[in-house]
Structure 1
Amino acid sequence: MEDFIFRAILAAVGISIITGSLGCFVIWKRMSYFSESISHSALLGVSLGLASGLGLHFGLIIVGVVFALLIVVLQQRQFLSNDAILGIFSHISLSLGVVILALVGGVNTDYFSLLFGDILSITNQDLIWIYAILALVGTLLTTFWQRLLLLTLSEDLGVASGLNKVMYQLLFMLMIALTVSVSVQIVGVLLITSLLIIPPAIARVFSNTPVQMTLLSIVISIIAVIIGLSGSTHYDIATGPTIVIALGALFILSQILPSKASA
């Protein structure tokens, strides 16, 4: 097996584990628009990383964390609806990213790979980043699973139990920001949300418990990215969109097959 294919598979599996697990909370919390907004901010992170010399990953993490903090602060003021706040920041950050890239990007800047991903360009350093974030997010999810789940399923009960809603909301948003920071090269800025939403949506059809849904979501995500990677290398087409098409096909299949409700 070629080295770049092996690295691509390792990266795909790592990202699938992160997005498959966090995506369940995105579905349960109905935060699909937040994940879409923070993925758009990733382009600003890329451009600032290139402009400052910090590198792609540091730029993505810094912008993602700042974005999450600003959203939480503005949500507490309650002078605008959540979707309005997210829409404002999403479009501003995306536009700023495009402008800064136009100013600092050279002729060798691959805009297509930034928007739609290029998993075959994954390096050993990228793998270290991915599995470092996987370890961090996995540790946080394992440690705070019960509290995050309680606040997700019954926010009032969680607050009555003494949980700090804002702190855990911020923690979850930061985990999403970290996930986006290592997912750009897999499916690109415009398609990251699909990895967070579609696998859990499929898993929900066949699951009876939150843990079961999370594990099944991870498996589905891994299957989809492997199918997408195989298809893109065989037919020489963009990997990110191919992965999303594979996810779409699996979603349609899940609607046809007997679900837990009809079993």
Structure 2
Amino acid sequence: MIDILLYAGIAGLILAAICGPLGVLVTWQRMAYYGDTLAHSALLGVALGLSLQIDIQLAVLLACLLIASSLFALQLWRNTSLDSLLGILSHSSLALGLVCLSFIDGPGFDLNAFLFGDLLAVMRDDLYLLAAIGGAALVLLVIFWGDLLSMIAHAELAAVEGVKVQRLRLLLMLLIAATVAVAMKIVGVLLISAMLIIPASAAGRLARSPEQSALLAALVGMVAVLIGLGAAWHFDSPAGPSIVLTAGLIFIISHFAPGARRVSNQ
């Protein structure tokens, strides 16, 4: 019992640490719908994993990275509208995943676990994968943080100054894809975007710099994980939704905190 709670808590804290700074970049880039698109494609990865009898989390990771790369390539091709591409790929991948799942023969599986997550089912191997991807993502964010901020603030000016804008956009999209893939087991397909957006939005009310926003967003996410996990254990409620609900309550409270303000670039 203690191991279950320990693994769940560690997994949630690692996810919050990743989603904090990444969520800040997502909100500033106005890419909230992008997270939903990748989350929907995760179901397609589940279907592929079950049909090919390979590790589901690996299949989800590959599917999310493939969709992210496809989005990047399609956006460059004839400057296609990103909003249109997101809408098309989001609903198409979700529909394709659900159709594929309906044709899979074999023992039944709990679709709710994929949709809403099952944090208490996280095992040691899941922690290793989450820590590896999370550590790599955080290292890359630290290395390219300044260039990413320049790209978000003014892409054309950043390109003139020598920043590889397109490469950074691809990197950011792939990082989001990897985060969505590993977060599926924790908060589920339908709630992944919430963990990216809500803590970052709450932090943006209080922070005075991008770095403060990233750190506060990670802290808000960690607090939401600990309180939400405790509430889920005490009230026997779903862990993923409990964490997201806690993050939402923190966001509401942030509106009334002393010194709260609206960040102009959000």
Give 1:72's aligned residue.
72
**Shift, 1:49, TM fit:** 1.5
Corresponding letter in the other structure for 2:198: I
**Aligned equivalents of 2:105 and 2:45: distance in 1?**
13
Give 1:38's aligned residue.
38
2:22 paired with 1:22:
yes
Give 1:244's aligned residue.
244
Q: Deviations over 1:109-155 (max 9, x none)?
A: 11011000000000111000100001110111111111111101121
**Aligned equivalents of 1:106 and 1:243: distance in 2?**
32
TM-score using structure 2 length: 0.95
**Aligned equivalents of 1:4 and 1:169: distance in 2?**
37
Give 2:256's aligned residue.
256
Give 1:99's aligned residue.
99
**Shift, 1:217, TM fit:** 0.4
**CA gap 1:93/1:259 in 2 versus in 1, 3 angstroms:** same
Q: Deviations over 1:33-67 (max 9, x none)?
A: 11111111111111112221221121111111110
Greater shift, 70-79 or 117-126, is seen at 70-79
Give 1:222's aligned residue.
222
* Structure 1, unpaired ranges of 5+: none
Give 1:89's aligned residue.
89
Greater shift, 232-241 or 70-79, is seen at 70-79
**Shift, 1:104, TM fit:** 2.0
SS of the residue corresponding to residue 162 of structure 1 reads coil
Identical amino acids, percent of aligned pairs: 38
**CA gap 1:245/1:106 in 2 versus in 1, 3 angstroms:** farther
Give 1:10's aligned residue.
10
**CA gap 1:246/1:101 in 2 versus in 1, 3 angstroms:** same
2:27 paired with 1:56:
no
Corresponding letter in the other structure for 1:210: P
Contact 1:208 1:260 in 2 (8 A): no
Count of aligned pairs: 262
Q: Deviations over 1:159-195 (max 9, x none)?
A: 1112222111011000001101110011100010000
**Aligned equivalents of 1:160 and 1:239: distance in 2?**
46
Contact 1:38 1:180 in 2 (8 A): yes
Contact 1:51 1:104 in 2 (8 A): yes
Give 2:181's aligned residue.
181
Give 2:154's aligned residue.
154
Give 2:191's aligned residue.
191
**Shift, 1:259, TM fit:** 3.0
Q: Deviations over 1:192-235 (max 9, x none)?
A: 00000000100000000000110000000000011111111111
TM-score using structure 1 length: 0.96
2:139 paired with 1:164:
no
* Structure 2, unpaired ranges of 5+: none
Corresponding letter in the other structure for 2:149: L
